[in-house]
C-alpha cells in the first residue's frame, strides 16, 4: 500500500511542482458589515498576463483591490499570490495607487520615493544596501525618470509623478504590477505614453489594471474583465468583438455612465485593425 501511495505521489509531483499562478482568486465574496460588495469572484492570472478590470463606480473595483492587497479580509473564498496567502504573497505585488492630491510640500526626492519600494524587502533594522540602490536606479531607468532622480516629487508633472510611482512598484521586484486608475488625472498624450510604458513592462512582468476608463484600457490590455458585483471574465487572449459584447453585457447600466457608444465603435475599429 505504502509504495503505491509513493507512486501516486510521484505521478502527482510534476503537477505539484508546476509554477503557481501569479494570482488566483477562488470564489471570493467580499464587502463590509453593511453589505456584500463582491460575489463569487474567480480570476486566475498566469505569468505575463495583462488583465484590465473595468466597471462602473460602486461596482466593487476598490473592494477587489483592497482584498487582493490584504487590506480587507474576504468574507468567503480565498486569494493566493504566487501560491501563498495574501499576507505573505502581497510582498510580491508592485502596487501603483490611484493618483491622489498629495502634499506638494512633502520634501522628498524622486530617488527617495522609489527607494521606498525597498523598505519592506530590506526589513526592519537594516540599512539600504548598494544592491537596493542598483534596483532603484534600474527601476527609474525603465520608466525613463533616472535623469530627474534629484527632483522633489512636488516639482513633477502628473505624468512624471505617475512614472515615479510605477518605478517605486518596480523597485519591489514584484511578480505582478497592480495598478489602480493609472491615468485618471493626466492628459491624453501622457495617458498613451504611460500605456506604452506598461506594454513594454508587460514583456517581463504580469499586470493587473483596474480602471473605469473603458475607452483606453481595452486597446492596450491583453484581456479585459468587467466587474459589477460579479466579475465577467473569459480570459481570451485577444480582445474580440465577442469579448467586448460580453463586457458590455454586464447587468449594469454601463452605457449610462460613460460614453460607451462612441467608445464601443472606437474599439471595434481597433480590433478590426488588429485582426
Partner 1 sequence: MDTLIELLQFEFMRNALLAALLVGLASGIIGVFVVIKRIVFISGGIAHTAYGGIGIAYFLGINPLIGAIVFSLFAAFGMGAVQRKTAERADTVIGAMWAIGMAIGIIFVDLTPGYKENLMSYLFGSILTVSNTNLWIMLALNLLILLLVSLFYKELLAISFDETFSTVQNVPVNAIYLILLTLIGFTVVMMMQVVGLIMVIALLTMPAAIAAQYARGLKQMMIWGTVLSVLFTVIGLFLSNYLNLTSGATIIIVAGAVYLVSLGIRPFFQRTSMVQVASESA
> Residue count at the site for partner 1 (CB under 8 A)?
44
Contact status: 70 vs partner 1 (CB under 8 A): yes
**Cβ distance to partner 1 smaller for residue 105 or 203:** 105
The values of phi and psi at residue 95, to 5°, are: -95, 125
> In the set 47, 73, 85, 120, which binds partner 1 (CB under 8 A)?
120
> In the set 18, 125, 261, 273, which binds partner 1 (CB under 8 A)?
125
**Cβ distance to partner 1 smaller for residue 107 or 251:** 107
Which DSSP category does 151 fall into? Answer: S
Span of 8-16, 182-190, 212-220, 254-262 interacting with partner 1 by CB under 8 A: 182-190
**Cβ distance to partner 1 smaller for residue 68 or 252:** 68
Q: For the chain, what's the residue count?
A: 275
**3 state DSSP class of 25:** strand
Return the half-sphere exposure (C-beta side, CA atoms, 13 A cut-off) of residue 143.
Answer: 28
262 neighbors 64 (Cβ within 8 angstroms): no
DSSP 29-82: EEEETTEEEEEEEEEEE-TT-EEEEE--TTSSHHHHHHHHTTSS--SEEEEEET
Contact status: 156 vs partner 1 (CB under 8 A): yes
Distance CA 149, CA 214 (A): 33
| Tally of CB atoms within 10 A around 153 | 19
Contact status: 109 vs partner 1 (CB under 8 A): yes
Contact status: 130 vs partner 1 (CB under 8 A): no
**Cβ distance to partner 1 smaller for residue 155 or 245:** 155
List residues near partner 1 by CB under 8 A: 69-71, 87, 90-91, 93, 95, 97, 103, 105-109, 112-113, 116-117, 119-122, 124-125, 127-128, 152, 154-160, 162-163, 168, 172, 186, 189-190, 193-194
Amino acid at each position: 500500500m505504502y509504495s503505491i501511495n509513493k507512486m501516486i505521489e510521484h505521478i502527482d509531483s510534476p503537477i505539484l511542482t508546476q509554477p503557481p499562478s501569479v494570482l488566483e482568486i477562488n470564489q471570493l465574496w467580499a464587502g463590509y458589515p453593511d453589505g456584500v460588495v463582491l460575489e463569487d469572484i474567480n480570476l486566475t492570472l498566469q505569468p505575463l498576463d495583462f488583465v484590465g478590470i473595468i466597471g462602473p463606480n460602486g461596482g466593487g473595483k476598490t473592494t477587489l483591490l483592497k482584498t487582493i492587497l490584504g487590506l480587507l479580509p474576504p468574507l468567503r473564498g480565498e486569494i493566493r499570490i504566487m501560491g501563498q496567502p495574501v499576507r505573505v504573497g502581497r510582498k510580491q505585488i508592485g502596487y501603483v495607487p490611484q493618483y491622489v492630491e498629495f502634499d506638494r510640500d512633502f520634501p522628498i526626492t524622486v530617488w527617495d520615493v522609489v527607494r521606498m519600494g525597498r523598505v519592506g524587502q530590506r526589513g526592519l533594522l537594516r540599512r539600504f544596501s548598494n544592491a537596493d540602490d542598483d534596483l532603484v536606479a534600474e527601476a527609474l531607468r525603465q520608466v525613463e525618470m533616472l535623469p530627474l532622480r534629484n527632483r522633489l516629487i512636488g516639482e513633477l508633472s502628473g505624468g512624471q509623478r505617475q512614472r515615479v510611482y510605477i518605478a517605486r512598484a518596480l523597485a519591489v521586484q514584484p511578480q505582478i504590477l497592480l495598478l489602480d486608475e493609472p491615468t485618471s488625472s493626466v492628459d491624453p498624450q501622457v495617458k498613451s505614453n504611460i500605456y506604452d510604458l506598461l506594454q513594454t513592462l508587460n514583456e517581463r512582468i504580469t499586470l493587473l489594471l483596474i480602471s473605469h476608463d473603458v475607452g483606453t484600457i481595452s486597446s492596450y490590455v491583453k484581456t479585459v474583465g468587467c466587474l459589477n458585483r460579479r466579475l465577467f471574465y473569459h480570459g481570451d487572449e485577444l480582445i474580440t468583438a465577442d469579448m467586448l459584447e460580453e463586457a458590455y453585457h454586464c447587468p449594469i447600466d454601463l452605457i449610462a455612465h460613460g460614453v460607451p457608444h462612441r467608445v464601443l465603435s472606437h474599439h471595434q475599429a481597433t480590433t478590426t485593425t488588429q485582426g
